[in-house]
Amino acid sequence: MEPKLRIEGASKIYATKSGAVHALEDFSLDVHEGELVCILGPSGCGKTTLLWALSGLHALSSGRILLDGTPVVGPRPKEIGMIFQDANLLPWRNLRQNIEFPFEIKKRPVDGQRIDALLGETGLRDFVGSMPRELSGGMQQRASIVRALAQNPGVLLMDEPFGALDAFTRDEMNLLLMRLWSESGQTIVFVTHNISEAIFLADRVVVMTPRPGRLARVYEIDLPRPRTVEMMFESGFIELVQDMKRVVETGGRDLLEVE
Q: Residue 123's pLDDT band (boundaries 50, 70, 90)?
A: very high
Q: Residue 16's pLDDT band (boundaries 50, 70, 90)?
A: confident
Residue 75 corresponds to which amino acid? P
Q: Residue 249's pLDDT band (boundaries 50, 70, 90)?
A: confident
- For the residues 200-215, what does the mean pLDDT come to? 95
Given its phi and psi angles, is residue 100 left (phi above 0), alpha (psi -120 to 50 degrees) or beta? Answer: alpha
- Let me know if residue 255 belongs to a domain: no
Contact 20, 8 (CB under 8 A): no
Task: Reply yes or no on whether the pLDDT at 255 is more than 80.
Answer: no
Q: Residue 96: its pLDDT value, please?
A: 97
- Let me know if residue 165 belongs to a domain: yes
Count of C-beta atoms within a 10 Å radius of residue 69: 9
- CA dist 227 → 20, 33, 168, 177, 255 (Å): 43, 20, 16, 11, 30
Q: Residue 43: its pLDDT value, please?
A: 85
- For the residues 207-234, what does the mean pLDDT come to? 94
- Let me know if residue 254 belongs to a domain: no
- CA dist 78 → 97, 107, 253 (Å): 19, 12, 38
- Let me know if residue 259 belongs to a domain: no
- For the residues 22-34, what does the mean pLDDT come to? 97
- For the residues 122-136, what does the mean pLDDT come to? 96
Q: Residue 63: its pLDDT value, please?
A: 97
- Let me know if residue 176 belongs to a domain: yes
Task: Reply yes or no on whether the pLDDT at 257 is more than 60.
Answer: no
Of 257 and 191, more confident:
191
Alpha-carbon distance of 80 to 89, in angstroms, equals: 19
Contact 40, 52 (CB under 8 A): no
Q: Residue 56: its pLDDT value, please?
A: 95
DSSP for 14-56, written as a single string: EEETTEEEEEEEEEEEEE-TT-EEEEE--TTSSHHHHHHHHHT
* Dihedral sign, Cα of residue 176, residue 182, residue 187, residue 190: positive
DSSP for 217-250, written as a single string: EEEE----SS--GGGGGSHHHHHHHHHHHHHHHT
Alpha-carbon distance of 95 to 91, in angstroms, equals: 9
Q: Residue 252's pLDDT band (boundaries 50, 70, 90)?
A: low
- CA dist 212 → 138, 152, 230 (Å): 33, 33, 36
Alpha-carbon distance of 133 to 169, in angstroms, equals: 18
pLDDT 10s digits, 216-227: 999 999 999 999
Q: Residue 74: its pLDDT value, please?
A: 92
- Let me know if residue 185 belongs to a domain: yes
Number of domains in the chain: 1
pLDDT 10s digits, 144-199: 999 999 999 999 999 999 988 899 999 999 999 999 999 999 999 999 999 999 99
How is residue 257 annotated by DSSP?
Answer: -
- Let me know if residue 202 belongs to a domain: yes
The domain that holds 86 is classified in CATH as 3.40.50.300
Q: Which domain holds residue 83?
A: 5-249
Q: Residue 256's pLDDT band (boundaries 50, 70, 90)?
A: very low
Count of C-beta atoms within a 10 Å radius of residue 30: 15
- CA dist 242 → 199, 235, 238, 247, 254 (Å): 11, 11, 6, 9, 17
Alpha-carbon distance of 224 to 23, in angstroms, equals: 35
- Let me know if residue 258 belongs to a domain: no
Percent of the residues in the chain that have a pLDDT greater than 70, as a whole number: 97
As a whole number, the mean pLDDT across the chain is: 92
pLDDT 10s digits, 75-120: 998 899 999 989 999 999 999 999 999 999 888 899 999 999 999 9
